[in-house]
Structure 1
């Protein structure tokens, strides 16, 4: 099997071999996450714990082979290594190897195994559309985040002005007031800190109305971006199918 054939299996999920490879890796990702969850169970028997550890070894070895193959097959290996997906692929296996021989670090590094969940991003078209949607709406989202940061600051300053004398412990500074601002503007409202003055209550009323927009605006931007991303990917897939059909004919 030559390099081109291997690349078709590893990188081209439109081919039969590529689809089988993708399903195989996705299955291993899910299994590794289940194993991670089971290993946190305190009542699991030592025999089953050993089976799970061996299974994880096998999965990590396969992930390592996949990672090395992607470096080998990439036309620009360094670009892949430092790309988002390349870093995720590395983080999915690196903690396991770092923990070998040093039992004191196992518990610390074990949490990083959850990065394997992000490997699913490579094999999911919906996640690809989501990434493209963020790229399309990037400028609008950045502007919205800037406006939100300003609103958070202003609301914290105002509520501190209204509530400081009545509740000096809860609203001792602008920074402590930011906790209230975040909870109120995002409409979460934990209820641990709340205004008791008339001015603070009236101000909170208007902040709650603004908070609805804080939640709705990014959702609308993302929805529009997803709609555009779906159209773009549909056009690209159509072109890919045409090229594949032409290749089969020739």
Structure 2
């Protein structure tokens, strides 16, 4: 039997349905209103960074930022209150995003300039996939995350190899060019090797000798091949990943989402859905 309307479990269940679920009319209205507030808060931060606008509307924009912060603070507190396991939700991805969305405003009271980090709130817009019932997009995100996790070790080994190459190439270029051509130290030469190998090519440091230019050309060609390696690793893992239909239902205990379409229990905490 569901909890009575006047009991603590009753109000928690009602608020959980509104805040965490997107299938009901109230839940969808809440999420749409929340997304609108997030967009407005990010726009306010962007506008405040423009000096001409800040000079005329700085006070109003800062007031708006604090209003948004207070609203999001209350919303975060309610989210923790209505889930059965608030600490688990607080450590989840969206729980951390919700916390990071309000921290910059409070940190700005002690550290000037940190209010610019409020743009982190844009990450909360990821909820739009759940609000619009785009469960297949959520499934694609889970698929990509699984592929990245599976390829993490290969990519780490690959990056270790690249860092070793960069160190050797930097030392060689420092030996070949020397300080008279701008390679004033091995770290400076390593910086050049990274910029060249990634095909960025700032041009602030360039070899002047024939041997140095030959080494630079080799590094440039090598860079194209190196860039393709992690892409291939992730592509292979994506091909091997298993697809499964996902629902937009959130766990009433920990708030976790991304469950299989036929799931009856939460994959994060084991609670019944």
TM-score (norm 1): 0.78
1: CA distance, partners of 2:161 / 2:27:
44
Matches of 2:190 and 2:215, distance apart in 1:
15
Q: Which moved more, 1:206-215 or 1:177-186?
A: 206-215
Query: What is the aligned length?
Result: 236
- Cα 1:218–1:29 change in 2 (3 A) is farther
Q: Decide which of 246, 254, 271 is 1:236's aligned counterpart.
A: 246
Provide the rounded CA distance (Å) in 2 between the counterparts of 1:157 and 1:45: 48
Which residue of 102, 108, 112 corresponds with 2:113? 108
> How far apart are residue 31 of structure 1 and its match?
1.3
Which stretch has the larger CA shift, 201-210 or 20-29?
20-29
4+ runs deviating over 6 angstroms: none
Identify the residue that residue 82 of structure 2 maps to in structure 1.
Answer: 73
Structure 2 CA distance for partners of 1:171 and 1:50, relative to 1, 3 Å: closer
- CA gap of 1:108–1:142, structure 2 versus 1, over 3 A, is same
Change (3 A) 1:9 1:49: same
- Answering whether residue 158 of structure 2 is matched by residue 148 of structure 1, we say no
* 8 A Cα contact 2:181 2:207, kept in partner: no
Q: In structure 2, how many angstroms separate the alpha carbons of the residues matched to 1:45 and 1:205?
A: 48
The range that moved more, 125-134 or 1-10, is 125-134
Map of 2:208 onto structure 1: 196
Deviation, 1:94, is: 1.9
Structure with larger RCO (C-alpha < 8 A, sep 6+): 2
> Partner of 2:17 in structure 1?
8
Q: Report the equivalent of 1:180.
A: 192
Q: 2:31 aligns with which of 2, 22, 41?
A: 22
Residues 82, 175 of structure 1: alpha-carbon distance in 2 compared, 3 angstrom cutoff: same
8 A Cα contact 1:121 1:128, kept in partner: no
Aligned partner (choices 32, 41, 58) of residue 32 of structure 1: 41
Describe the SS at the equivalent of 1:9: helix
d(CA) in 2 for partners of 1:27, 1:172:
52
Question: CA separation in 2, counterparts of 1:180 and 1:50?
Answer: 45
Superposition TM-score, scaled by structure 2 size:
0.72
In 2, Cα distance between the equivalents of 1:93 and 1:58?
A: 11
Q: Which moved more, 1:185-194 or 1:24-33?
A: 24-33
Alpha-carbon spacing, 1:57–1:81, altered in 2? closer, same or farther (3 Å): same
**3-state secondary structure, aligned to 2:50:** coil
Match of 2:96?
A: 87
Aligned partners of 1:186 and 1:215 also within 8 Å: yes
Residue 245 of structure 2 aligns to a residue in which SS?
A: helix
More deviation in 75-84 or 60-69? 75-84
1:97-138 Cα distance to aligned partner (Å, 9 max, x none): 3445x6xx4x42222212212323455536555444422322
For structure 1, the residue ranges without an aligned partner over 5 or more in a row are 245-250
